[in-house]
Amino acid sequence: MTGILVYSEDLDLQLQLLSKGRELSNNLAAKLYALVIGSNVEGHVASVLNYSDAVITIENKSLEHYDVELYKIGVVEAVKRVNPDVILIGATKFGKELAARTAAALDAGCMTECISLNIDKEGNLLAERLIYGGSSIALEKSRRKPHIAVISKNIFKRLEPSTKVAEVLRLDTDHPKSKVQILEKREKSKSDTGLEEASIIVAAGRGFKKKEDLDLLRELSSILGSKIGCTRPISADNGWLDEWIGISGKKVKPRLYIAFGISGTIQHAAGIRGSQIIVSVNQDEAAGIFEISDYGILGDLYTILPALIKVLKKVKKTES
Amino acid sequence: MIISDWKVRDVDEIWRLCDLVKIVVLVKDIPDLTDIKIGQDRRPILVSVKRKINDLDKRALESAVQLKEKYGGEVVTLSLGDEKTRTTILDALSSGADSAYIINDKELIGLDALTTAKVLSFALKKLAPFDLVLCGEMSLDTLSSQIGARIAEILNISQVMYARRIDLVGNKIKVERELEYCEEVVEAELPAIVSVIREINEPRIPSLMNIMKAKRKPVIEWDSKTLGLSVEELKKLSAIEILDVKAPLVERKRIMIKGETPEEVAEKLVEALRSEGVLRDLQ
Ligand SMILES: Cc1cc2nc3c(=O)[nH]c(=O)nc-3n(C[C@H](O)[C@H](O)[C@H](O)COP(=O)(O)OP(=O)(O)OC[C@H]3O[C@@H](n4cnc5c(N)ncnc54)[C@H](O)[C@@H]3O)c2cc1C
Ligand SMILES: Nc1ncnc2c1ncn2[C@@H]1O[C@H](COP(=O)(O)O)[C@@H](O)[C@H]1O
C-alpha cells in the first residue's frame, strides 16, 4: 500500500494539508501519514490524530530548534520507513528549506508555491504553481516518486476531523552534532490581523512618509470597518505594521482593496489578485498599480485620503 | 563520477580554509519580470525580454563585497546561464565581483531544481577551496527556493537560510536569520552556504569608473565537458517537467477618476464603489 506523508511544524497548515492529503489518498488508495518532529511533540500529535491514518513521531532533545540538517534526518527516516508516493510539506520558511534539503537527500524533485494538486493517470503528481513572481501559473508534472510538493497556508481548506483515531508510530533517530549552533533566539510576537478573511482592506505603501501618517489610514479603516494592510517595505524595513501583503506575505481576497501610495510591483500584485474591486491612489501616472486597478486616482494620498474620510463621514451621517 | 550517488563526504579533504576569504556568490540571470507581456493565448512572451540579475542575488553579492572590504579576499560569481549571461553578469562585475564563472551549455538549459543544484555543485567543487557560498532566498522568476538547501546537502556543508546579517567570526560565520516565529543568531562552521533576504542590504549602484573596469575583469565560461558532467545522466535524473505556463485572466476596469477638487474625486469614487455594491455596510 502506498502512502502520503504530510509535514508542517505549523499545526494549522498541517491540518489543511492533511485534509488535501485525505482527498489524494482516496484517489491513490494510499495511507495518510502525519509526520511530527520536535523536542516536545505531545500536543501536536494529539491534534493530528483525527486527521490521519497514522502519526509518525520523532521526538528528540536535539530537535528543540528548527535545525534543518537535523530535521532532514528525521524526514528521511520517515520516508525510508513508509516509502510514500507523495510528500506534502507546509510552505513556511523553515518548511521550504527542509523540503529542498530533504528532496536533495532523496534525489527527488520538488514543486514549491503549489496552488493545486492532482494525480494523473500514471499516478504522477501534477501541480499548478505560481511563477514569474506570481504573475503566471505553470502546470508541472513530477514524474518520479517520491513526489514532493510544498504548499502555503490557506490554499487548501481544513476539513472536519474524522472520528477515527490514528495509530502512533514512534521512530528513534540519531542526530549528530549540527554544524550550526544557535547563539540567541528572539520569539516574535505574532498578531494575526485577520487580513486573509477581511472583506475590505485599505493598504499603505511607501507613499506614506511617517509612521504617524498611518493614523489617517486608521481613521478611514474604522469608517469602512476594514483591515489595514501594507507592502513589504512598510513592514519589513520600517516596522510600522506586522504583516504585509504579497507573494512573500499574506494573500488576500477582499471584495474591496484600496491601495494608497503603492507602486504595484509583481510581488505585491500577486497577493491581491483575488480581490473583487481594486482601487489605487498614486501620484505617479505611470505607476503599475493603475494597470491592475478597477478605479484609479492620480493624486497625492495626503489630499485624497482626508477628502475620502470627509465624504464617507458625510454619507454615513446622512444615512444613519 | 556517477552523479546520482555523488555526495561529497570527504569535506575536510576538499575544503581547507584559505588565508584570505574566498566567497562564491550564486548569481542567476532572469527575465525582467516587468517586461513580460501576455500573448493572445494567455501565455507569457519571453523572447526579447530584457534580462537582469535576480534582485536577491545582487543583495547576496553586496554582502559578499562588504565582507571582502572588511576582511580582504576574493569574490567570484557563479551562474548557470546561457550566451546572454555574459552581458548580464557585467552588472555583478561592476558591483564588486572580481571574476565571473558562467556555465554556458545548450544542453544545460531548462533544467529542474534537482539537476540545476547538481550542476552548480559540480562547479563549486571545481572552484574549491572556498569559505562561503552566498545565494538568494529564491529566484524571483521561478519562485523555487531550493538551490541553496540542495547544495548544502550535496556538498555536506553548513546551511543557513534567510540571513538579514552576516559576519565572519574567526573561522566561523555568524548569521542573523529570520523565520515567521522568531529571529535567530546562529554560528556555523565553514564552509557554509547562506541565503539572504531582501532586507539584508541595498545593493550599491556602480560608479562609471567601476563599470568601465568591469569590462576588463575575467569571465570564464564552462560547459558540461569542463565540469565532467554527463548530460544524459542529468536528463535521466530530472524529475519535474513543465507542461504549460499561463497568465490567469483578470479583467480590471482601469477607470481613472478625475475631478476639480479632492472632494469631488472622493465623491465620485464613493459613488462608483456603492454602485459596485462593495460598500455594503454604508448603504
Ligand atoms: C523576494 C522578494 C519578495 C517580495 N515580496 C513582497 C511582498 O510579498 N509584498 C510586497 O509588497 N513587496 C514584496 N517585495 C518588495 C517589492 O519588490 C517592492 O519593493 C515593494 O512591493 C514596493 O512597495 P511600495 O509599493 O510600498 O513602494 P514603492 O515601490 O517605492 O512605491 C511607492 C509608491 O508610492 C507613490 N507615492 C509616493 N508618494 C505619494 C503620495 N504622496 N501620494 C500618492 N502616491 C505616492 C509612488 O509614486 C510609488 O508608486 C518583495 C521583494 C523581494 C525581493
Ligand atoms: N541558474 C542559476 N545560476 C546561479 N545561481 C542560481 C541559479 N538558480 C538559482 N540560483 C541561486 O539559488 C538561489 C535560489 O534560487 P531558486 O532555488 O531557484 O529559487 C538564487 O537566488 C540564486 O542565488
Reported as a single tens digit per residue, the pLDDT across B118-146 is 999 999 999 999 999 999 999 999 999 99
Domain assignment present for A164 = yes
The answer to whether B11 faces chain A, any CB pair under 8 Å, is: no
CATH number at residue A206: 3.40.50.1220
Minimal Cβ distance to B239: which of A99, A109, A308: A109
Domain assignment present for B220 = yes
Q: How many domains does chain B have?
A: 2
Q: What per-residue confidence (pLDDT) applies to A166?
A: 95
Domain assignment present for A179 = no
B129 cis-preceded (ω within 30 degrees of 0): yes
Clarify whether residues B45 and B182 are in a common domain.
yes
B218 cis-preceded (ω within 30 degrees of 0): no
Domain assignment present for B243 = no
Clarify whether residues A146 and A226 are in a common domain.
no
Closest Cα of chain A to B120: distance in Å? 13
Reported as a single tens digit per residue, the pLDDT across B201-228 is 999 999 999 999 999 999 999 999 999 9
C-alpha cell at B158: 553548513
Q: Is the per-residue pLDDT at B280 higher than 70?
A: yes
Q: What per-residue confidence (pLDDT) applies to B282?
A: 66
The answer to whether A165 faces chain B, any CB pair under 8 Å, is: no
Clarify whether residues B159 and B256 are in a common domain.
no
Q: Give the torsion through C-alpha atoms of B163, B164, B165, B166, to 10 deg.
A: 20
Reported as a single tens digit per residue, the pLDDT across B162-202 is 999 999 988 899 999 999 989 999 999 999 999 999 999 99
Q: What per-residue confidence (pLDDT) applies to A285?
A: 97
Q: What per-residue confidence (pLDDT) applies to B9?
A: 37
The answer to whether A179 faces chain B, any CB pair under 8 Å, is: yes
Clarify whether residues A167 and A209 are in a common domain.
no
- The answer to whether B98 and B74 are in contact (CB under 8 A) is yes
Contact at CB, B245 and A137, closer than 8 angstroms: yes
Give residue A96's pLDDT band: very low, low, confident or very high (50, 70, 90): very high
Clarify whether residues B260 and B189 are in a common domain.
no
Q: How many domains does chain A have?
A: 2
Clarify whether residues B206 and B272 are in a common domain.
no
CATH number at residue B201: 3.40.50.620
Clarify whether residues B164 and B280 are in a common domain.
no
Domain assignment present for B4 = no
Clarify whether residues A264 and A300 are in a common domain.
yes
Q: What per-residue confidence (pLDDT) applies to B19?
A: 59
CATH number at residue A56: 3.40.50.620
Minimal Cβ distance to B244: which of A138, A265, A295: A138
Pocket of ligand 1 (CB under 6 A): A 205-207, 231-234, 244-249, 261-263, 265, 267-268, 271, 281-284, 287, 300-302; B 55-56, 137, 140, 198
Percentage above 70 pLDDT, chain A: 99
Domain assignment present for B61 = yes
Clarify whether residues B82 and B35 are in a common domain.
yes
* Chain B residues within 8 A of A311 when measuring between CB atoms: 263, 266-267, 270
- Total residues belonging to chain A: 320
Q: Distance between CA A57 and CA A60 in Å, rounded?
A: 10
Contact at CB, A109 and B248, closer than 8 angstroms: no
Q: What per-residue confidence (pLDDT) applies to B5?
A: 40
Q: Distance between CA A238 and CA A67 in Å, rounded?
A: 29
Domain assignment present for A20 = yes
C-alpha cell at B262: 479632492
Clarify whether residues A309 and A212 are in a common domain.
yes
Contact at CB, B33 and A132, closer than 8 angstroms: yes
Clarify whether residues B70 and B124 are in a common domain.
yes
Write out the residue range of the structural domain in which residue A216 sits: 195-319
Clarify whether residues A153 and A242 are in a common domain.
no
Domain assignment present for B247 = no
Clarify whether residues A164 and A256 are in a common domain.
no
Supply the pTM of this predicted model: 0.94
Q: Is the per-residue pLDDT at B283 higher than 80?
A: no
Domain assignment present for A183 = no
Which ipTM was obtained for this model? Answer: 0.95
A240: DSSP letter: S
- The answer to whether A86 and A4 are in contact (CB under 8 A) is yes
Pick the last residue of a domain from A155, A171, A187.
A171
Domain assignment present for B245 = no
Q: Mutate which of B103, B147, B155 to test ligand 2's pocket (most atoms within 8 Å of Cβ)?
A: B147
Reported as a single tens digit per residue, the pLDDT across B29-88 is 999 999 999 899 999 998 889 999 999 999 999 999 999 998 889 999 999 999 999 999
Write out the residue range of the structural domain in which residue B84 sits: 11-237
Give residue A17's pLDDT band: very low, low, confident or very high (50, 70, 90): very high
What part of B 145-184 touches A (C-beta under 8 Å)? 145-154, 157-162, 174, 178-184
